[in-house]
Structure 1
Amino acid sequence: MSTDLTTELLLHRAGTKSYWRGLTYRDSVLSLRVHSRHVAARVRGSEDAVYTIQMSWSGPQLVGDCSCPHGSEGFFCKHCVAVGLVLLDRGLTVPPPDAEDVELRDRLRSLPAEVLRDLLYEQAAGDPAVRARIMQA
């Protein structure tokens, strides 16, 4: 499974038109943060709209979610391309899906036990696999 971010991958995911439009949006990336398992960014679009982007891996597939109209329809849009290109320009990448989620571990450590039990109960009540794991522990 390859989780290498490349310009070729961005072109493949977005298609020619969105890729070339994304090239012109690199300077529109307002913020970019690499988290433990995903990248979060904000990009200024046309007419001063600001879109939120999240990029991560789903297995070997690079997934880009954007709040723009094209992205909201499930497409890997020009804003996702711009974020990917800025990552590459900065020598960064989208973390692999199996990276340790340090942020989540730290947050869970800081929560009171009762809050953790309530959160886990909510998850287990709606997910038979989680419930089964808890019942077997």
Structure 2
Amino acid sequence: MSTTLTTELLLHRAGTKSYWRGLTYRESVLSLRVHSRHVAARVRGGDDAAYVVELSWSGTHLMGACTCPHGSEGFFCKHCVAVGLVLLDRGETVPPPDAEDVELKDALRSLPAEVLRDLLYDRAAGDGPLRTRIIKKSQEN
């Protein structure tokens, strides 16, 4: 299985009812941004509330998260479908899970070395394998 966004995949993930409802919500997508490894959007719901939607891949499995009541229960809702359909309409897609995270690299480049060391220390202090990798790298230099 691949990481290709299609209408068939959206139908499979959402089910018939949510898929067909999602077809009518394409115009309700208020904003949509394709990031390095996910898509973030805001979609207006039937009650005029704006819901936050995120689409991404977990391996070859399309994941959808939405702040609407149905999405908050873990379902791939009509808002997720609408975002997927707008992506397809625009000729865009959900970036693959192994895409280069350009945003993260740019953010890391902009941080001072001391801040990077503090962040890495905080993470590595609780992550044994990462701690071991850092110590091994330091001994290679």
Tell me, yes or no, whether TM beats 0.5. yes
- What TM-score results when the alignment is normalised by the length of structure 2? 0.93
Q: In structure 2, what is the Cα distance between the partners aligned to 1:50 and 1:22? A: 15
Q: In structure 1, what is the Cα distance between the partners aligned to 2:128 and 2:121? A: 11
Q: In structure 2, what is the Cα distance between the partners aligned to 1:21 and 1:49? A: 17
Cα deviation per residue 1:55-88 (whole Å; 9 max; x = unaligned)? 1111000111111111111111110000000000
User: Aligned ranges for residues 1-137 of structure 1 at < 5 Å?
Assistant: 1-137=1-137
Q: In structure 2, what is the Cα distance between the partners aligned to 1:92 and 1:68? A: 24
Identity %: 81
Q: By how many angstroms is 1:129 displaced?
A: 2.8
Q: In structure 1, what is the Cα distance between the partners aligned to 2:129 and 2:64? A: 27
Higher radius of gyration, 1 or 2: 2
Q: In structure 2, what is the Cα distance between the partners aligned to 1:126 and 1:32? A: 35
Q: In structure 2, what is the Cα distance between the partners aligned to 1:72 and 1:127? A: 30
Q: Which runs of 4+ in 1 moved over 6 A?
A: none
Q: In structure 2, what is the Cα distance between the partners aligned to 1:99 and 1:39? A: 13
Q: In structure 2, what is the Cα distance between the partners aligned to 1:78 and 1:53? A: 10
What letter matches 1:36 in structure 2? S
Query: What secondary structure sits across from 2:91 in the alignment?
Result: coil
What letter matches 2:87 in structure 1? L
What letter matches 1:122 in structure 2? D
